[in-house]
Structure 1
């Protein structure tokens, strides 16, 4: 950039740049200098010098006087000025071509970097998936190891089968005892029902016998009372007879 600038220290040691021209002014100055081949802000522009040389040569050629030597001199000066003007153009063209090649290389490099970035992002996503898969596999392995340790703490298969056989035998014995108990209970129920029936019949028989005895006692008492009444009547008759 051809625009001059200066830096001024601000508070806290920060450096802030203050430029003499803005971006638009810089672009205008650069464009004008490229068109006029002006490398500095001082001196006469090369294009204007070339124009003056050409005008001097053309003016001398148009004269009718015998000025061949002057024309040749001005022509050579004009050619020198052209060469002096063209040489920077060629240099500028070489610089532009180099810049274009560099820009193309930069674009290719940028494309390659972008491709590598995309590839890196793809690789990162793939690695994330692999990492997640590895984490899941590690969790599965840890769970399997925990289960294996739990299994190792359990008794062996033969001991387990022996224990199961013992429990099955014990269950069979308990079922047999339960069946026998049920049968005994049913028998006891039948016996108790029969006993209750006998007791009920016995109670009825006793009640009947008690009623019969009560009836007999009542009849005896009535008979004795009647007999007493009869004896009293006989004595009274005898007394009356004696009188």
Structure 2
């Protein structure tokens, strides 16, 4: 618990000693770049240069015989100016290098975009070629299937021979069918004639049966009349 308490107190101390907030980073970095300040401690180079220049000017404006002091201050100012100028030259060189790098990057970007456009064009062409190749391959496969189907069929001579044999069989069947049709028609006519004859015969038989019945009835009546006549004669004889 004590260790944790100490740790928390250390964090609070660090937070308390933090000189600026996270939102001020950009402002501080910009100020350091303008004043050539690399750390937060010590006198900034620009202020140091300004201070030495001010000392040199004040020393020059004096009416006293201070040539040596002016020379020393001038030398110190020039040294400080040289020291301040070196980072500027470095920054200038870095800026120029960055500009060249930017131009190279833009050229490289344009070249990459051009290559991308060419690659896209090539891709579209390859897609078209692929589609054409697929269609051509499909046609070849269809032709190959037709060729195999044709190769599986018998030769033309055998096919024509089979066709002639089938035509002969068809002609024979047609002739047989015609003969059968004629025979069937003849049988129909014969059967119709037979039915007509049977009908006529049946009518004749019925007529003969009627005539026979009529004759039998007449014979019966004649016999009956004869018997009655015979009985009448006997009675007359008996009366006499």
TM-score normalised by L of structure 1: 0.78
User: Post-superposition shift, 1:149?
Assistant: 2.5
User: Post-superposition shift, 1:129?
Assistant: 4.1
1:56 and 1:151 map into 2 onto residues whose CA distance is: 112
User: Post-superposition shift, 1:51?
Assistant: 0.1
2:213 and 2:127 map into 1 onto residues whose CA distance is: 110
Identify if the C-alpha distance between structure 1 residues 157 and 51 changes in structure 2 by more than 3 Å, giving closer, same or farther.
same
Q: Which structure features the higher share of helix residues? A: 2
User: Post-superposition shift, 1:86?
Assistant: 1.8
Equivalent residue, structure 1, for 2:183: 184
Q: Which structure features the higher share of strand residues? A: 1
1:24 and 1:174 map into 2 onto residues whose CA distance is: 110
| CA RMSD of superposed structures (Å) | 2.6
Equivalent residue, structure 2, for 1:32: 31
Between the two proteins, the alignment pairs up a number of residues equal to: 221
User: Post-superposition shift, 1:101?
Assistant: 1.0
> In the TM superposition, what whole-angstrom CA distance separates every residue of 1:78-130 from its partner, at most 9, and x where no partner exists?
22322222222111101111011112212322333343334334434443443
User: Post-superposition shift, 1:175?
Assistant: 2.0
> In the TM superposition, what whole-angstrom CA distance separates every residue of 1:142-177 from its partner, at most 9, and x where no partner exists?
343333333322222221222122222222222222
> In the TM superposition, what whole-angstrom CA distance separates every residue of 1:187-224 from its partner, at most 9, and x where no partner exists?
33233223322332232222222211221111111111
TM-score normalised by L of structure 2: 0.79
Q: Determine whether 1:86 maps to 2:65.
A: no
1:120 and 1:217 map into 2 onto residues whose CA distance is: 127
1:142 and 1:219 map into 2 onto residues whose CA distance is: 104
Moved more, 228-237 or 217-226: 228-237
User: Post-superposition shift, 1:54?
Assistant: 1.0
Equivalent residue, structure 1, for 2:231: 232
2:197 and 2:114 map into 1 onto residues whose CA distance is: 109
User: Post-superposition shift, 1:23?
Assistant: 7.3
* Runs (5+) with no aligned partner, structure 2: 1-19
SS at match of 1:71: helix
